[in-house]
Amino acid sequence: MSDVLLEIRNLEAFYGPVMAIRGASLEVPEGAIVTVLGANGAGKTTLLKTVSGVMDPDKGEVLLAGESIERSEPDRIVRKGVVHVPEGREVFPLLDVEENLAMGAWTRSDDGVAEDREMIFGYFPILEERLRQSAGTLSGGEQQMLAIARGLMARPKIMLLDEPSLGLSPILVGEIFSILRRLNEERGVAMLLVEQNAKAALDIADFGYVMELGRVVMDGPAKRLADNRDIREFYLGAKERSQRGERRWKRRKTWR
Amino acid sequence: MDSLQLIVSGLANGCVYGLIALGFVLIYKATEQVNFAQGDMMMLGAFTALGLANDSHLGLPFWVACIGAVVIVAAVGWLLERTVLRRVFGQSQLAVVILTIALGFVLRFVAGTIWGHDPLTLESPIAGVNVRLGGLVLGLDEIAVVLVTLLLTAALFAFFRRTKLGVAMQASSQNQLAAYYMGIPVKRIHGFTWALAGATAAVAGILFASKGSIDPNTGLLGIKAFAAAVIGGFGSLPGALAGGLVVGLIEPFAARYVASGYSQVAPYALMLVVLILRPHGILSQVHGKKV
Ligand SMILES: Nc1ncnc2c1ncn2[C@@H]1O[C@H](COP(=O)(O)OP(=O)(O)O)[C@@H](O)[C@H]1O
Ligand SMILES: [Mg+2]
Protein backbone atom coordinates (compact mmCIF):
# COMPACT_ATOMS: atom_id res chain seq x y z
CA MET A 1 0.00 0.00 0.00
CA SER A 2 1.00 3.62 -0.47
CA ASP A 3 1.89 6.14 2.23
CA VAL A 4 -0.27 6.49 5.30
CA LEU A 5 -2.23 9.76 5.25
CA LEU A 6 -4.10 9.48 8.56
CA GLU A 7 -3.05 7.39 11.50
CA ILE A 8 -4.88 7.00 14.81
CA ARG A 9 -2.83 5.39 17.60
CA ASN A 10 -4.20 4.01 20.88
CA LEU A 11 -6.85 6.68 21.14
CA GLU A 12 -8.88 7.09 24.34
CA ALA A 13 -11.71 9.60 24.72
CA PHE A 14 -14.24 10.33 27.47
CA TYR A 15 -17.54 12.12 27.91
CA GLY A 16 -17.17 13.04 31.57
CA PRO A 17 -16.87 9.66 33.27
CA VAL A 18 -18.08 7.72 30.20
CA MET A 19 -15.22 6.15 28.25
CA ALA A 20 -16.33 6.24 24.61
CA ILE A 21 -13.06 5.22 22.88
CA ARG A 22 -10.98 2.59 24.63
CA GLY A 23 -7.69 2.48 22.81
CA ALA A 24 -8.49 2.43 19.10
CA SER A 25 -5.88 2.39 16.32
CA LEU A 26 -6.38 2.61 12.59
CA GLU A 27 -4.80 3.85 9.35
CA VAL A 28 -6.02 5.48 6.18
CA PRO A 29 -3.56 5.26 3.27
CA GLU A 30 -3.27 8.16 0.82
CA GLY A 31 -6.19 8.08 -1.66
CA ALA A 32 -7.94 5.11 -0.01
CA ILE A 33 -11.47 4.56 1.26
CA VAL A 34 -11.42 3.02 4.71
CA THR A 35 -14.63 2.16 6.50
CA VAL A 36 -15.37 1.80 10.20
CA LEU A 37 -18.36 -0.42 10.89
CA GLY A 38 -20.11 -0.78 14.20
CA ALA A 39 -23.46 -0.72 15.92
CA ASN A 40 -25.02 2.31 17.53
CA GLY A 41 -22.93 3.55 20.45
CA ALA A 42 -19.73 1.78 19.35
CA GLY A 43 -17.84 5.08 19.39
CA LYS A 44 -17.61 5.76 15.67
CA THR A 45 -18.81 9.37 15.83
CA THR A 46 -16.57 10.11 18.79
CA LEU A 47 -13.61 8.76 16.84
CA LEU A 48 -14.28 11.16 13.98
CA LYS A 49 -14.78 14.07 16.40
CA THR A 50 -11.36 13.56 17.92
CA VAL A 51 -9.82 13.56 14.44
CA SER A 52 -11.57 16.78 13.35
CA GLY A 53 -10.63 18.51 16.60
CA VAL A 54 -14.09 19.27 18.01
CA MET A 55 -13.19 16.87 20.83
CA ASP A 56 -9.86 16.33 22.54
CA PRO A 57 -8.74 12.76 23.18
CA ASP A 58 -7.42 11.92 26.64
CA LYS A 59 -4.72 9.61 25.38
CA GLY A 60 -3.24 8.57 22.10
CA GLU A 61 -2.24 10.26 18.88
CA VAL A 62 -3.78 11.42 15.63
CA LEU A 63 -1.20 11.83 12.88
CA LEU A 64 -1.84 13.51 9.54
CA ALA A 65 0.95 12.70 7.11
CA GLY A 66 3.15 12.01 10.13
CA GLU A 67 2.31 15.29 11.90
CA SER A 68 0.46 15.12 15.18
CA ILE A 69 -2.87 17.03 15.06
CA GLU A 70 -4.76 15.91 18.18
CA ARG A 71 -5.79 18.82 20.39
CA SER A 72 -5.49 21.31 17.50
CA GLU A 73 -8.39 23.72 16.95
CA PRO A 74 -10.90 22.53 14.32
CA ASP A 75 -10.12 25.39 11.94
CA ARG A 76 -6.43 24.45 11.85
CA ILE A 77 -7.33 20.86 11.08
CA VAL A 78 -9.64 21.91 8.24
CA ARG A 79 -6.84 24.04 6.82
CA LYS A 80 -4.57 20.99 6.87
CA GLY A 81 -7.01 19.14 4.62
CA VAL A 82 -9.26 17.14 6.96
CA VAL A 83 -12.97 17.80 6.68
CA HIS A 84 -15.75 16.24 8.74
CA VAL A 85 -19.14 15.56 7.13
CA PRO A 86 -21.23 15.07 10.26
CA GLU A 87 -23.85 12.51 11.14
CA GLY A 88 -27.36 13.74 10.44
CA ARG A 89 -26.02 16.14 7.75
CA GLU A 90 -26.12 19.29 9.93
CA VAL A 91 -26.56 21.78 7.11
CA PHE A 92 -27.16 25.45 7.93
CA PRO A 93 -30.96 25.30 7.63
CA LEU A 94 -31.79 28.96 6.99
CA LEU A 95 -28.91 29.59 4.58
CA ASP A 96 -29.43 28.73 0.94
CA VAL A 97 -27.42 26.09 -0.91
CA GLU A 98 -24.98 28.63 -2.30
CA GLU A 99 -24.27 30.10 1.15
CA ASN A 100 -23.85 26.63 2.66
CA LEU A 101 -21.24 25.86 0.00
CA ALA A 102 -19.51 29.18 0.63
CA MET A 103 -19.25 28.27 4.33
CA GLY A 104 -17.56 25.03 3.33
CA ALA A 105 -14.86 27.16 1.73
CA TRP A 106 -14.55 29.40 4.82
CA THR A 107 -10.89 28.51 5.43
CA ARG A 108 -9.89 29.22 1.82
CA SER A 109 -8.86 32.47 0.19
CA ASP A 110 -7.35 31.08 -3.03
CA ASP A 111 -9.12 31.73 -6.32
CA GLY A 112 -9.91 28.10 -7.06
CA VAL A 113 -13.15 28.32 -5.07
CA ALA A 114 -15.41 29.15 -8.03
CA GLU A 115 -13.78 26.41 -10.09
CA ASP A 116 -14.31 23.86 -7.32
CA ARG A 117 -17.94 24.84 -7.12
CA GLU A 118 -18.39 24.05 -10.81
CA MET A 119 -16.56 20.75 -10.29
CA ILE A 120 -18.94 19.90 -7.44
CA PHE A 121 -22.01 20.74 -9.53
CA GLY A 122 -20.67 18.17 -11.99
CA TYR A 123 -21.07 15.53 -9.29
CA PHE A 124 -24.23 16.94 -7.70
CA PRO A 125 -26.22 18.67 -10.46
CA ILE A 126 -29.31 18.88 -8.24
CA LEU A 127 -27.50 21.36 -5.99
CA GLU A 128 -27.05 23.76 -8.86
CA GLU A 129 -30.79 23.61 -9.50
CA ARG A 130 -31.50 24.31 -5.82
CA LEU A 131 -28.90 27.07 -5.48
CA ARG A 132 -31.27 29.64 -3.95
CA GLN A 133 -33.30 27.27 -1.82
CA SER A 134 -32.73 27.25 1.93
CA ALA A 135 -31.01 24.07 3.00
CA GLY A 136 -33.61 23.27 5.63
CA THR A 137 -36.24 22.80 2.93
CA LEU A 138 -34.20 20.26 0.90
CA SER A 139 -35.06 16.56 1.02
CA GLY A 140 -32.94 14.25 3.16
CA GLY A 141 -30.96 12.98 0.18
CA GLU A 142 -30.36 16.50 -1.10
CA GLN A 143 -29.22 17.61 2.35
CA GLN A 144 -26.76 14.72 2.48
CA MET A 145 -25.43 15.69 -0.95
CA LEU A 146 -25.13 19.28 0.26
CA ALA A 147 -23.25 18.19 3.37
CA ILE A 148 -20.77 16.23 1.25
CA ALA A 149 -20.48 19.04 -1.29
CA ARG A 150 -19.98 21.61 1.49
CA GLY A 151 -17.15 19.48 2.85
CA LEU A 152 -15.58 19.20 -0.61
CA MET A 153 -15.49 22.99 -0.86
CA ALA A 154 -12.66 22.94 1.68
CA ARG A 155 -10.64 20.98 -0.92
CA PRO A 156 -9.82 18.22 1.58
CA LYS A 157 -7.16 15.54 1.33
CA ILE A 158 -9.39 13.34 3.44
CA MET A 159 -13.10 13.40 4.25
CA LEU A 160 -14.50 11.98 7.48
CA LEU A 161 -17.97 10.76 6.54
CA ASP A 162 -20.30 9.93 9.42
CA GLU A 163 -23.12 7.60 8.33
CA PRO A 164 -23.98 9.27 5.03
CA SER A 165 -26.57 6.54 4.40
CA LEU A 166 -28.55 7.33 7.55
CA GLY A 167 -32.28 7.55 6.91
CA LEU A 168 -31.98 7.37 3.11
CA SER A 169 -33.72 4.98 0.71
CA PRO A 170 -31.58 2.16 -0.76
CA ILE A 171 -31.70 3.82 -4.18
CA LEU A 172 -30.40 7.12 -2.79
CA VAL A 173 -27.73 5.30 -0.79
CA GLY A 174 -26.56 3.62 -3.99
CA GLU A 175 -26.50 6.94 -5.81
CA ILE A 176 -24.58 8.78 -3.10
CA PHE A 177 -22.07 5.97 -2.57
CA SER A 178 -21.30 5.73 -6.26
CA ILE A 179 -20.63 9.48 -6.25
CA LEU A 180 -18.32 8.97 -3.26
CA ARG A 181 -16.45 6.30 -5.19
CA ARG A 182 -16.12 8.58 -8.23
CA LEU A 183 -14.86 11.41 -6.04
CA ASN A 184 -12.28 9.07 -4.61
CA GLU A 185 -11.14 7.74 -7.98
CA GLU A 186 -11.29 10.97 -9.96
CA ARG A 187 -10.25 13.55 -7.35
CA GLY A 188 -8.03 11.34 -5.19
CA VAL A 189 -9.89 12.29 -1.99
CA ALA A 190 -9.20 9.76 0.77
CA MET A 191 -12.19 8.82 2.91
CA LEU A 192 -12.75 7.53 6.41
CA LEU A 193 -16.30 6.27 6.12
CA VAL A 194 -18.21 5.42 9.27
CA GLU A 195 -21.27 3.28 8.64
CA GLN A 196 -23.89 0.97 10.07
CA ASN A 197 -24.86 0.03 6.54
CA ALA A 198 -22.05 -2.50 6.15
CA LYS A 199 -23.01 -3.68 2.69
CA ALA A 200 -22.93 -0.26 1.06
CA ALA A 201 -19.72 0.67 2.87
CA LEU A 202 -17.82 -2.54 2.11
CA ASP A 203 -18.86 -2.22 -1.54
CA ILE A 204 -16.84 0.95 -2.04
CA ALA A 205 -14.15 0.61 0.65
CA ASP A 206 -10.63 -0.73 0.23
CA PHE A 207 -10.17 -1.64 3.85
CA GLY A 208 -12.42 -1.93 6.88
CA TYR A 209 -12.42 -1.93 10.67
CA VAL A 210 -15.13 -3.13 13.03
CA MET A 211 -15.67 -1.26 16.30
CA GLU A 212 -17.47 -2.47 19.38
CA LEU A 213 -17.74 -0.59 22.67
CA GLY A 214 -14.92 1.78 21.83
CA ARG A 215 -12.46 -0.85 20.60
CA VAL A 216 -11.43 -2.08 17.17
CA VAL A 217 -12.33 -5.77 17.24
CA MET A 218 -11.63 -6.75 13.66
CA ASP A 219 -9.96 -5.38 10.52
CA GLY A 220 -9.10 -6.48 7.04
CA PRO A 221 -9.46 -5.75 3.33
CA ALA A 222 -13.08 -4.88 2.51
CA LYS A 223 -13.57 -8.00 0.37
CA ARG A 224 -12.39 -10.28 3.13
CA LEU A 225 -14.68 -8.57 5.69
CA ALA A 226 -17.64 -8.87 3.34
CA ASP A 227 -17.04 -12.65 3.26
CA ASN A 228 -16.47 -12.97 6.99
CA ARG A 229 -19.05 -15.11 8.75
CA ASP A 230 -19.51 -12.89 11.82
CA ILE A 231 -19.89 -9.79 9.70
CA ARG A 232 -22.37 -11.54 7.43
CA GLU A 233 -24.35 -12.59 10.47
CA PHE A 234 -24.31 -9.36 12.45
CA TYR A 235 -24.17 -6.69 9.78
CA LEU A 236 -25.33 -8.19 6.51
CA GLY A 237 -27.99 -10.68 7.65
CA ALA A 238 -31.42 -10.16 6.16
CA LYS A 239 -33.26 -10.68 9.44
CA GLU A 240 -30.98 -8.33 11.34
CA ARG A 241 -31.29 -5.73 8.66
CA SER A 242 -35.07 -5.47 8.82
CA GLN A 243 -34.93 -5.26 12.58
CA ARG A 244 -32.37 -2.52 12.40
CA GLY A 245 -34.33 -0.65 9.81
CA GLU A 246 -37.24 -0.55 12.19
CA ARG A 247 -35.16 0.59 15.10
CA ARG A 248 -33.60 3.30 13.04
CA TRP A 249 -36.97 4.57 12.00
CA LYS A 250 -38.09 4.74 15.59
CA ARG A 251 -34.95 6.56 16.63
CA ARG A 252 -35.39 9.14 13.95
CA LYS A 253 -38.85 9.85 15.22
CA THR A 254 -37.90 10.50 18.81
CA TRP A 255 -34.79 12.31 17.74
CA ARG A 256 -36.03 15.40 15.99
CA MET B 1 -50.23 68.97 13.27
CA ASP B 2 -50.10 68.09 16.89
CA SER B 3 -50.37 64.36 16.44
CA LEU B 4 -47.86 64.57 13.59
CA GLN B 5 -45.45 66.08 16.09
CA LEU B 6 -46.23 63.23 18.45
CA ILE B 7 -45.57 60.73 15.71
CA VAL B 8 -42.20 62.22 14.87
CA SER B 9 -40.98 62.30 18.45
CA GLY B 10 -42.39 58.81 18.97
CA LEU B 11 -40.49 57.60 15.91
CA ALA B 12 -37.28 59.16 17.18
CA ASN B 13 -37.64 57.48 20.56
CA GLY B 14 -38.62 54.27 18.81
CA CYS B 15 -35.41 54.37 16.78
CA VAL B 16 -33.34 54.44 19.96
CA TYR B 17 -35.33 51.50 21.34
CA GLY B 18 -34.91 49.80 17.99
CA LEU B 19 -31.14 50.24 18.03
CA ILE B 20 -30.88 48.78 21.52
CA ALA B 21 -33.19 45.97 20.43
CA LEU B 22 -30.82 45.35 17.49
CA GLY B 23 -28.09 44.70 20.04
CA PHE B 24 -30.29 42.21 21.87
CA VAL B 25 -31.05 40.40 18.64
CA LEU B 26 -27.45 40.42 17.34
CA ILE B 27 -26.16 38.75 20.47
CA TYR B 28 -29.07 36.38 20.77
CA LYS B 29 -28.79 35.27 17.16
CA ALA B 30 -25.09 34.63 17.32
CA THR B 31 -24.71 33.17 20.81
CA GLU B 32 -28.24 32.40 22.10
CA GLN B 33 -27.47 34.64 25.06
CA VAL B 34 -29.74 37.48 26.14
CA ASN B 35 -27.71 40.49 27.20
CA PHE B 36 -29.70 42.43 29.78
CA ALA B 37 -26.86 44.95 30.01
CA GLN B 38 -27.54 46.14 26.46
CA GLY B 39 -29.36 49.26 27.73
CA ASP B 40 -26.47 50.01 30.07
CA MET B 41 -24.03 49.67 27.20
CA MET B 42 -26.14 52.33 25.46
CA MET B 43 -25.81 54.52 28.56
CA LEU B 44 -22.06 53.90 28.59
CA GLY B 45 -21.87 54.97 24.94
CA ALA B 46 -23.75 58.18 25.73
CA PHE B 47 -21.45 59.03 28.66
CA THR B 48 -18.29 58.13 26.77
CA ALA B 49 -19.28 60.48 23.95
CA LEU B 50 -20.09 63.15 26.54
CA GLY B 51 -16.80 62.61 28.34
CA LEU B 52 -14.88 62.98 25.08
CA ALA B 53 -16.89 65.85 23.56
CA ASN B 54 -18.04 68.21 26.33
CA ASP B 55 -15.86 71.23 27.01
CA SER B 56 -16.02 70.55 30.75
CA HIS B 57 -14.42 67.17 30.04
CA LEU B 58 -12.00 66.39 27.17
CA GLY B 59 -13.51 68.83 24.68
CA LEU B 60 -12.67 66.87 21.54
CA PRO B 61 -14.47 67.70 18.28
CA PHE B 62 -17.96 66.14 18.27
CA TRP B 63 -17.37 63.71 15.40
CA VAL B 64 -14.09 62.51 16.87
CA ALA B 65 -15.91 61.93 20.17
CA CYS B 66 -18.63 59.94 18.39
CA ILE B 67 -16.13 57.66 16.67
CA GLY B 68 -14.19 57.35 19.92
CA ALA B 69 -17.31 56.34 21.85
CA VAL B 70 -18.26 53.73 19.25
CA VAL B 71 -14.76 52.24 19.30
CA ILE B 72 -14.54 52.25 23.10
CA VAL B 73 -17.92 50.63 23.74
CA ALA B 74 -17.24 48.08 20.99
CA ALA B 75 -14.01 47.24 22.82
CA VAL B 76 -15.90 46.97 26.11
CA GLY B 77 -18.38 44.55 24.48
CA TRP B 78 -15.57 42.46 23.05
CA LEU B 79 -13.76 42.38 26.41
CA LEU B 80 -16.93 41.39 28.29
CA GLU B 81 -17.38 38.45 25.94
CA ARG B 82 -13.74 37.43 26.21
CA THR B 83 -13.49 37.65 29.97
CA VAL B 84 -16.96 36.99 31.36
CA LEU B 85 -19.53 35.59 28.96
CA ARG B 86 -17.23 32.97 27.50
CA ARG B 87 -17.03 31.37 30.92
CA VAL B 88 -20.75 30.78 31.19
CA PHE B 89 -21.15 29.76 27.57
CA GLY B 90 -23.28 26.63 27.30
CA GLN B 91 -24.69 27.07 30.80
CA SER B 92 -28.34 27.73 31.47
CA GLN B 93 -30.05 30.85 30.18
CA LEU B 94 -30.69 31.81 33.80
CA ALA B 95 -26.96 31.98 34.55
CA VAL B 96 -26.47 34.30 31.57
CA VAL B 97 -29.47 36.44 32.51
CA ILE B 98 -28.28 36.91 36.07
CA LEU B 99 -24.74 37.59 34.91
CA THR B 100 -25.75 40.24 32.38
CA ILE B 101 -28.12 41.92 34.85
CA ALA B 102 -25.19 42.09 37.27
CA LEU B 103 -22.99 43.50 34.50
CA GLY B 104 -25.60 46.22 34.03
CA PHE B 105 -25.31 47.16 37.71
CA VAL B 106 -21.54 47.31 37.38
CA LEU B 107 -21.72 49.56 34.31
CA ARG B 108 -24.16 51.90 36.11
CA PHE B 109 -21.87 52.03 39.12
CA VAL B 110 -18.82 52.74 36.98
CA ALA B 111 -20.63 55.49 35.08
CA GLY B 112 -21.87 57.02 38.36
CA THR B 113 -18.35 57.02 39.75
CA ILE B 114 -16.82 58.67 36.71
CA TRP B 115 -19.57 61.10 35.66
CA GLY B 116 -21.66 61.48 38.82
CA HIS B 117 -25.37 60.83 39.30
CA ASP B 118 -26.78 64.18 38.20
CA PRO B 119 -28.27 64.53 34.74
CA LEU B 120 -25.77 65.80 32.16
CA THR B 121 -26.25 67.06 28.63
CA LEU B 122 -24.15 66.11 25.63
CA GLU B 123 -22.93 69.19 23.75
CA SER B 124 -24.13 68.02 20.39
CA PRO B 125 -24.26 70.23 17.29
CA ILE B 126 -27.63 68.70 16.38
CA ALA B 127 -29.30 69.34 19.75
CA GLY B 128 -31.90 72.10 19.88
CA VAL B 129 -31.75 72.97 16.17
CA ASN B 130 -35.12 73.16 14.43
CA VAL B 131 -35.82 72.45 10.81
CA ARG B 132 -38.91 73.68 8.94
CA LEU B 133 -40.48 71.18 6.60
CA GLY B 134 -43.56 72.75 5.04
CA GLY B 135 -45.70 73.77 7.97
CA LEU B 136 -43.95 71.34 10.26
CA VAL B 137 -41.21 72.20 12.71
CA LEU B 138 -38.96 69.24 13.41
CA GLY B 139 -35.93 68.93 15.63
CA LEU B 140 -32.72 68.22 13.72
CA ASP B 141 -31.92 65.73 16.48
CA GLU B 142 -35.10 63.78 15.70
CA ILE B 143 -34.39 63.75 11.97
CA ALA B 144 -30.81 62.62 12.60
CA VAL B 145 -31.98 59.82 14.89
CA VAL B 146 -34.33 58.45 12.27
CA LEU B 147 -31.82 58.72 9.42
CA VAL B 148 -28.90 57.21 11.30
CA THR B 149 -31.05 54.36 12.56
CA LEU B 150 -32.34 53.51 9.09
CA LEU B 151 -28.83 53.64 7.65
CA LEU B 152 -27.34 51.51 10.39
CA THR B 153 -30.08 48.89 10.17
CA ALA B 154 -29.70 48.73 6.40
CA ALA B 155 -25.93 48.44 6.73
CA LEU B 156 -26.19 45.62 9.29
CA PHE B 157 -28.78 43.86 7.17
CA ALA B 158 -26.53 44.05 4.11
CA PHE B 159 -23.55 42.93 6.17
CA PHE B 160 -25.38 39.78 7.26
CA ARG B 161 -26.66 39.04 3.79
CA ARG B 162 -23.71 39.94 1.61
CA THR B 163 -20.40 39.46 3.40
CA LYS B 164 -18.69 36.16 4.09
CA LEU B 165 -18.25 37.10 7.76
CA GLY B 166 -21.92 38.05 8.05
CA VAL B 167 -23.04 34.76 6.53
CA ALA B 168 -20.63 32.91 8.85
CA MET B 169 -22.24 34.67 11.81
CA GLN B 170 -25.63 33.38 10.68
CA ALA B 171 -24.17 29.94 10.06
CA SER B 172 -22.64 29.66 13.51
CA SER B 173 -25.91 30.74 15.11
CA GLN B 174 -27.95 28.23 13.11
CA ASN B 175 -25.72 25.26 13.70
CA GLN B 176 -22.75 25.86 15.92
CA LEU B 177 -21.32 22.36 15.67
CA ALA B 178 -21.43 22.39 11.88
CA ALA B 179 -19.72 25.79 11.94
CA TYR B 180 -16.88 24.24 13.93
CA TYR B 181 -16.69 21.40 11.40
CA MET B 182 -16.26 23.95 8.60
CA GLY B 183 -13.40 25.61 10.44
CA ILE B 184 -15.38 28.76 11.27
CA PRO B 185 -13.81 30.25 14.42
CA VAL B 186 -17.02 30.34 16.45
CA LYS B 187 -15.52 31.89 19.59
CA ARG B 188 -13.92 34.73 17.70
CA ILE B 189 -17.24 35.32 15.98
CA HIS B 190 -18.94 35.60 19.37
CA GLY B 191 -16.38 38.22 20.43
CA PHE B 192 -16.96 40.11 17.21
CA THR B 193 -20.73 39.98 17.75
CA TRP B 194 -20.41 41.55 21.20
CA ALA B 195 -18.19 44.25 19.74
CA LEU B 196 -20.80 44.93 17.06
CA ALA B 197 -23.56 45.05 19.68
CA GLY B 198 -21.41 47.47 21.70
CA ALA B 199 -20.90 49.72 18.68
CA THR B 200 -24.64 49.70 17.97
CA ALA B 201 -25.36 50.55 21.61
CA ALA B 202 -22.92 53.46 21.44
CA VAL B 203 -24.66 54.87 18.38
CA ALA B 204 -28.00 54.54 20.19
CA GLY B 205 -26.48 56.28 23.22
CA ILE B 206 -25.14 59.22 21.21
CA LEU B 207 -28.50 59.66 19.48
CA PHE B 208 -30.37 59.43 22.76
CA ALA B 209 -28.07 61.95 24.44
CA SER B 210 -28.61 64.33 21.52
CA LYS B 211 -32.31 64.45 22.41
CA GLY B 212 -32.06 65.11 26.13
CA SER B 213 -30.07 64.69 29.30
CA ILE B 214 -28.56 61.45 30.56
CA ASP B 215 -27.74 59.95 33.93
CA PRO B 216 -26.41 56.50 34.95
CA ASN B 217 -29.95 55.07 35.15
CA THR B 218 -30.69 56.00 31.53
CA GLY B 219 -29.82 52.45 30.55
CA LEU B 220 -32.93 51.16 32.29
CA LEU B 221 -34.88 52.01 29.17
CA GLY B 222 -33.21 48.87 27.85
CA ILE B 223 -36.24 47.13 29.35
CA LYS B 224 -38.47 48.89 26.84
CA ALA B 225 -36.03 47.89 24.12
CA PHE B 226 -36.29 44.32 25.35
CA ALA B 227 -40.05 44.53 24.89
CA ALA B 228 -39.37 45.92 21.42
CA ALA B 229 -37.09 42.99 20.59
CA VAL B 230 -39.74 40.52 21.75
CA ILE B 231 -42.43 42.25 19.74
CA GLY B 232 -40.13 42.12 16.72
CA GLY B 233 -39.51 38.41 17.07
CA PHE B 234 -36.10 38.31 18.77
CA GLY B 235 -34.49 36.82 15.72
CA SER B 236 -34.78 39.37 12.99
CA LEU B 237 -32.95 42.68 12.62
CA PRO B 238 -35.71 44.52 10.75
CA GLY B 239 -38.12 43.03 13.30
CA ALA B 240 -36.14 44.59 16.14
CA LEU B 241 -36.31 47.98 14.48
CA ALA B 242 -40.03 47.58 13.79
CA GLY B 243 -40.62 46.56 17.40
CA GLY B 244 -38.73 49.64 18.57
CA LEU B 245 -40.83 51.90 16.37
CA VAL B 246 -44.05 50.30 17.61
CA VAL B 247 -43.07 50.88 21.24
CA GLY B 248 -41.89 54.41 20.46
CA LEU B 249 -45.18 55.27 18.76
CA ILE B 250 -47.41 53.70 21.39
CA GLU B 251 -45.87 55.68 24.24
CA PRO B 252 -46.89 59.25 23.39
CA PHE B 253 -50.36 58.18 22.33
CA ALA B 254 -50.89 56.09 25.42
CA ALA B 255 -49.72 59.03 27.51
CA ARG B 256 -52.26 61.21 25.79
CA TYR B 257 -55.30 58.96 25.72
CA VAL B 258 -54.82 56.63 28.68
CA ALA B 259 -54.89 57.67 32.32
CA SER B 260 -51.40 58.56 33.50
CA GLY B 261 -49.95 55.82 35.62
CA TYR B 262 -51.44 53.23 33.27
CA SER B 263 -49.99 54.60 30.07
CA GLN B 264 -46.46 53.44 30.86
CA VAL B 265 -47.63 49.87 30.91
CA ALA B 266 -48.60 50.07 27.24
CA PRO B 267 -45.35 48.68 25.72
CA TYR B 268 -45.31 45.72 28.08
CA ALA B 269 -49.00 45.04 27.61
CA LEU B 270 -48.35 44.96 23.88
CA MET B 271 -45.41 42.61 24.44
CA LEU B 272 -47.69 40.24 26.35
CA VAL B 273 -50.33 40.37 23.64
CA VAL B 274 -47.71 39.61 20.99
CA LEU B 275 -46.28 36.75 23.04
CA ILE B 276 -49.72 35.24 23.44
CA LEU B 277 -50.87 35.69 19.87
CA ARG B 278 -47.59 35.12 18.04
CA PRO B 279 -45.05 33.48 20.31
CA HIS B 280 -42.28 34.18 17.81
CA GLY B 281 -43.03 37.85 17.29
CA ILE B 282 -44.39 39.76 14.33
CA LEU B 283 -41.49 39.54 11.94
CA SER B 284 -39.57 36.50 13.08
CA GLN B 285 -38.16 33.91 10.74
CA VAL B 286 -39.59 30.46 10.96
CA HIS B 287 -36.95 28.73 12.98
CA GLY B 288 -36.43 25.20 11.79
CA LYS B 289 -33.60 25.18 14.23
CA LYS B 290 -32.02 22.22 15.94
CA VAL B 291 -29.89 22.77 18.98
N1 LIG C 1 -22.50 13.99 24.25
C2 LIG C 1 -22.34 12.81 24.91
N3 LIG C 1 -22.36 12.76 26.26
C4 LIG C 1 -22.18 11.60 26.93
N5 LIG C 1 -21.99 10.42 26.34
C6 LIG C 1 -21.97 10.38 24.99
C7 LIG C 1 -22.14 11.57 24.20
N8 LIG C 1 -22.07 11.25 22.90
C9 LIG C 1 -21.86 9.92 22.86
N10 LIG C 1 -21.80 9.38 24.11
C11 LIG C 1 -21.56 7.97 24.45
O12 LIG C 1 -20.34 7.59 23.88
C13 LIG C 1 -20.45 6.31 23.29
C14 LIG C 1 -20.08 6.37 21.83
O15 LIG C 1 -20.98 7.19 21.14
P16 LIG C 1 -20.83 7.52 19.61
O17 LIG C 1 -19.43 7.88 19.30
O18 LIG C 1 -21.86 8.52 19.26
O19 LIG C 1 -21.19 6.12 18.93
P20 LIG C 1 -21.62 5.80 17.43
O21 LIG C 1 -21.34 6.96 16.59
O22 LIG C 1 -20.79 4.61 17.08
O23 LIG C 1 -23.07 5.47 17.47
C24 LIG C 1 -21.88 5.85 23.54
O25 LIG C 1 -21.87 5.01 24.66
C26 LIG C 1 -22.62 7.10 23.82
O27 LIG C 1 -23.68 6.87 24.71
MG1 LIG D 1 -22.63 7.99 15.41
| DSSP per-residue codes, chain B | -HHHHHHHHHHHHHHHHHHHHHHHHHHHHHHS---TTHHHHHHHHHHHHHHHHSTTTT---HHHHHHHHHHHHHHHHHHHIIIIIHHHTTS-HHHHHHHHHHHHHHHHHHHHHHH-SS-B----TTTT-EEEETTEEEEHHHHHHHHHHHHHHHHHHHHHHHSHHHHHHHHHHH-HHHHHHTT--HHHHHHHHHHHHHHHHHHHHHHHHHHS-B-GGGGGGHHHHHHHHHHTTSS-HHHHHHHHHHHHHHHHHHHHHS-TTTGGGHHHHHHHHHHHH-TT-SS--------
User: Which pLDDT score, from 0 to 100, does residue B287 have?
Assistant: 45
User: Which pLDDT score, from 0 to 100, does residue B283 have?
Assistant: 58
B178/A90 touch (CB, cutoff 8 Å), yes or no: yes
User: Which pLDDT score, from 0 to 100, does residue B282 have?
Assistant: 60
Would B287 be classed as within a structural domain?
no
Beta bridge partners of B214: B120
User: Which pLDDT score, from 0 to 100, does residue B116 have?
Assistant: 94
Verify that A241 and A175 share a domain, yes or no. yes
Contact status, residue A159 vs residue A191, Cβ threshold 8 Å: yes
The CB of A45 under 6 Å from ligand 1? The reply is yes
User: Which pLDDT score, from 0 to 100, does residue A62 have?
Assistant: 97
Residue B177 lies in domain: 11-220
The CB of A196 under 6 Å from ligand 1? The reply is no
Verify that A203 and A150 share a domain, yes or no. no
Residue numbers of chain B with a pLDDT score lower than 50: 286-291
Verify that A161 and A237 share a domain, yes or no. yes
The residue out of A127, A155, A183 marking a domain boundary is A155
Verify that A68 and A162 share a domain, yes or no. yes
Would B2 be classed as within a structural domain?
no
Verify that A145 and A233 share a domain, yes or no. no
Mutational test site, ligand 1, from A18, A48, A211, max ligand atoms within 8 Å of CB: A18
User: Which pLDDT score, from 0 to 100, does residue A254 have?
Assistant: 27
Residue numbers of chain A with a pLDDT score lower than 70: 1-2, 236-256
Partner A, chain B 137-196, Cβ-Cβ below 8 Å: 164, 167-168, 170-171, 174-175, 177-185
Would B184 be classed as within a structural domain?
yes
User: Which pLDDT score, from 0 to 100, does residue A239 have?
Assistant: 46
pTM of the model: 0.85
The residue out of A134, A155, A176 marking a domain boundary is A155
Verify that A199 and A247 share a domain, yes or no. yes
User: Which pLDDT score, from 0 to 100, does residue B284 have?
Assistant: 56
Verify that A185 and A241 share a domain, yes or no. yes
Verify that A150 and A221 share a domain, yes or no. no
Across chain A, mean pLDDT equals 90
Would B278 be classed as within a structural domain?
no
Domains contained in chain A, number: 2
Would B283 be classed as within a structural domain?
no
User: Which pLDDT score, from 0 to 100, does residue A238 have?
Assistant: 38
Verify that A103 and A197 share a domain, yes or no. no
User: Which pLDDT score, from 0 to 100, does residue A155 have?
Assistant: 96
CATH number of the domain bearing residue A213: 3.40.50.300
Domains contained in chain B, number: 1
Contact status, residue A215 vs residue A188, Cβ threshold 8 Å: no
Mutational test site, ligand 1, from A15, A26, A251, max ligand atoms within 8 Å of CB: A15
User: Which pLDDT score, from 0 to 100, does residue B272 have?
Assistant: 86
Would B250 be classed as within a structural domain?
no
Residue A142 lies in domain: 90-155
Verify that A164 and A242 share a domain, yes or no. yes
Verify that A160 and A249 share a domain, yes or no. yes
B181/A74 touch (CB, cutoff 8 Å), yes or no: yes
